[in-house]
Chains A and B, each alone.
Chain A
Amino acid sequence: AQSVTQLGSHVSVSEGALVLLRCNYSSSVPPYLFWYVQYPNQGLQLLLKYTSAATLVKGINGFEAEFKKSETSFHLTKPSAHMSDAAEYFCAVTIGYNNDMRFGAGTRLTVKP
């Protein structure tokens, strides 16, 4: 079965430090992968998506993610954290041959001043 595992339910970094949020997937077909962000008391919005065009994907707000097939990973990174990056981040994968999607459990990012 297709699924997503996000390692670490909580990640805390200092402002200006590297952000690394981990996501591993399993899929029986070539996956399409997504990262969504949920700011406090708001809905989810798309950060970036991998659709097989390029393995390094750049998204909004300086985030990027690299698809590594050999590691079945799609980790999210940002070189320098801002206080405004504090939010919940969800990795997701489309499953099967339809538009169904499964989300990871989420990682809450805290940014310390």
Chain B
Amino acid sequence: GAGVSQSPSNKVTEKGKDVELRCDPISGHTALYWYRQRLGQGLEFLIYFQGNSAPDKSGLPSDRFSAERTGESVSTLTIQRTQQEDSAVYLCASSSGRWGRSYNEQFFGPGTRLTVL
């Protein structure tokens, strides 16, 4: 079946503009995650959804960042008034885990490379 997809694959924007990044998880996956990966660095956790609820928003770096999810489907990460330090690859992952402890694997999308000029 289809994997996690993300769009756009690349986004170049001007400082101060808003951007929306989209993630389509694997069908039936209830958990969805957003990460940021700056050039040459590790994964920085941003937010986690279980269904359309976000029990953990602790990683969002500022109030310019927000995310929403429709049911157990697509998620959108929005960055308002983009800054140059927002330039990074934004990765989305999904897993089939339900409420309660799970060791289900996270499946990653290819990422969206955001460049803020």
Contact = CB atoms under 8 A, between A and B. Distances in A.
A73 interface: no
Contacts of A36: 108
B56 interface: yes
Interface residues of B, number: 27
B114 to A, nearest CB: 16
B95 A43 contact: no
- With most chain A CB atoms within 10 A of its CB, the pick from B41, B43, B100, B101 is B43
A94 B33 CA distance: 13
A6 B111 CA distance: 23
B102 A99 contact: yes
Interface in A15-42: 29, 32, 34, 36, 42
B50 A98 contact: yes
Nearest to B58: A100
Interface residues of A, number: 25
A105 interface: yes
A34 B48 contact: no
Interface string B79-102: 000000000000101010101111
Contacts of A106: 41-43
A90 interface: yes
Given A94-B101, A99-B102, 10 more contacts: A32-B103, A34-B105, A42-B110, A44-B93, A92-B106, A98-B50, A99-B31, A100-B55, A102-B45, A103-B42
Interface of B: 31, 33, 35, 41-43, 45, 48, 50, 55-56, 91, 93, 95, 97, 99-106, 108-111
Interface of A: 6, 29, 32, 34, 36, 42-46, 49, 51, 90, 92, 94, 97-106
